Chain A
Amino acid sequence: MKTIIHLFLALAFCANVTAQDSSYLAIVGGDIHTVTDGVIMKGVVLCKDSRILKIGKRVRIPEGAEVIDASGMQVYPGLIAADASGIVNGRGVDVADSYDPYKLNLDLALAGGITTIQNGGMVVKLKHGTIDNVLAGPTSWINLNYSSTSPAGRRRVREEFSKVRDYMRLHRGWKLTSSMGEDAGDEPEAKGVKEDYLALLKGEATARFSANSLKDLLATCELLEEYPMQSVIYGGQEAWACAGRLGRVNARLIITPRSKKWASDDLNRPSGWTIENANILWEHGVKFAILPGENSISLMGLAGRDLMTLPMEAAFAIRGGLQQDAALRAITIDAAEILGVDHRMGSLEVGKDANIIVCDGDLFHYRSFVQWAVVDGKLMYDKQKASYFAHIRPRAEEVIDEMEEVIDEMEEVTNIDAPEVVDNP
């Protein structure tokens, strides 16, 4: 029995050679869900500084690297909440100046596997204990009010877009003429043209709509057909009923699979919510991110429907027929793409930011906990050290550590050195 324990210890010890100062961090032995390139069973993710250096089955781990033993566990990219409030303070660049890296909500978000959020138009990394490099960039979203409750607002939006289109045509004509060497006169001025709207039609910004009902979604599709641009639609409860059209205008959605809505009697076509919403959107090639009903860390009300349990919301889409890897995309790479940061995060790829979580089971299983969260190559959350969940199903290795201590103590007692005997000369 004792030898078995020792063998166990030796193994555990090999995998646990830690060095805090090293710029390397290796996550060893877990099943790596890369999101974009399948699953690597029992592989290694090696990070250097803040980036992923290598991923694979045979990766040499540099001496002195900090090693996380993820054997038997599942490794995912850090989850991304496309919209969050109450985790960090401030809007835009102010977030950096009002960042509290010891805030409880931040720790709880990390405990839920979230490593990146969008807050007040800024993509923010969640880091415990440091305020360095926490911003990942602005979203460049422009809010458009295109709801059926405000017909005047709709008219204004269309008028503004029409002005922008006229100006763009004029400008294109002028550019063409002058490029052919003819006298085209002065460059047309962008007078009375809204800069925001111009940026939208030029493809430099993303339009953000709020639309839940089929009516609003169809109207939004109509606008996007007339004025093609990048878009994000919040809500989308009845999006399944016009999924094809949403796909054709390349709309991207942020949906809450569990939010329910009655079917509308005054429509002569299917409406209302369905558990299959996410799956139908997926089948029609519509990109979407998943968010829970409350976009904050909520310490009140019913548990399981706020950002502490983001994967649970995605699990509900799986219940409605969505494939598991599609559900994973909706809270990682697709959310990153909607935020415009998919070149840096959202999947496990060499060169990307080292934002990684390690779960003790399948991410979408209610039993699973996030054991470690790594942000920018640094360990930011360790379940065993955070006081909130450490006592629930503690990690096996901690039990081994305790046993090791007991054995050490026993050895100390037995290995008493005999006093040195000096011969009398």
Chain B
Amino acid sequence: MSDASLNSHTHTTTLPSDGGFSDFFALLKPRVMTLVVFTAFVGLYAAPGDIHPLVGLIAILFIALGGGASGALNMWWDADIDRVMRRTRNRPIPSGRVTEREAFGFGITLSAIAVVMLWLATNWVAAAILAFTIFFYIVIYSMWLKRWTPQNIVIGGAAGAFPPVIGWAAVTGGISLESVLMFSIIFMWTPPHFWALALFMRSDYDDAGVPMLTVTHGRRATRVHILVYTLLLAGLAVGIGFTMVGGPIYVAASVALNALFIKGAWQIWRRSEEDAEADNYKVEKAFFKLSLYYLFALFGVIALEAGLAPLGLGGW
């Protein structure tokens, strides 16, 4: 018997605390967390200086927990939108397995634990940036910008760009050009990534009343924006190769990856809506998928350079 039938017979509302472990885990947005964990690891690994492996592991764990906590708070605040959108309708709150109050308490508690533990394990700078990231994602992005401006993804993307900066600060206790550039890469990558999704998710954002660029400025303008942001991203992504965290391997890989990414954005820009509908958004879906591989590969090569440096093979 499903939850729905149980509730329809016995309760008008969901019982609090009915969610299982997997429901609470789903509140942490585990798929987003993989990106947080990976980019935080690269920031930490590529940073100059030493950190005890266990402290490094604990730092990444609590950066991930902080990211997950902000995901739970985001689901608490956006529950009304999630109920409308097809993509998010089965999340724990819209499906009734977790109440909004539980998600809020869960998110706040985990946020506090993550920030305090990161401070204890590393330093106050890393903890402060993590606290700011959570604040930025919930208050600036979710509560304010997401429902107000079509630039929501652009500015909100900053929240997802902080993990490598936090990882870097965990080792060095500060911020530097390299960590800012790593931030900039994710910041510039986020808009084309999400706008590609918005193109093929069609009516989801319309139905939810979220002012995505596709809704406010049209799909043609979104295609132009994807190309422009991809070109700007390429400049940053190749540029970081000439700093302390780069090297010949990174520059070569980065040029190849950005050439592929620009090719995808170019194809999206050239297509009309009729073309896209005819093949069920094949190119847009492929670009969205490529964007995930692109970011993982780019940061993977930064980590590779850092790993080869002690052997005299990586870096400049």
A, B bound: no
